[in-house]
Amino acid sequence: MRISVDPDRCVGAGQCVLSAPEVFDQDADGIVTVVNARPADDEAVRHAGELCPSGSITLHED
């Protein structure tokens, strides 16, 4: 699976970091960063994509 994020949309709610800390992090400004852009397809990562309130996270199936 491949992850992309749109930092301009991120509202820093941190839902992604709580769900999948090995894939997402927040920078010093509280904005999303990707730690691992090619994680294994796992439930925690899908949850992060689903929970993000601002639609900043896209999961690609390639």
Residues that bind other proteins (CB under 8 A): 11-14, 17-19, 21, 26, 28-31, 47, 50-51, 53-55
Q: How far apart are CA 3 and CA 19, in angstroms?
A: 14
Q: Of 29 and 62, which has the nearer Cβ to other proteins?
A: 29
Minimal CA–CA distance to 3: which of 30, 22, 27, 29? Answer: 22
Residues that bind ligand SF4 (CB under 6 A): 5, 10-16, 24, 26, 32, 52-54, 56-57
Residue 16 CB, nearest distance to other proteins (Å)? 9
Q: Collect all residues with Cβ–Cβ distance below 8 Å to 43 and sequence separation of at least 6.
A: none
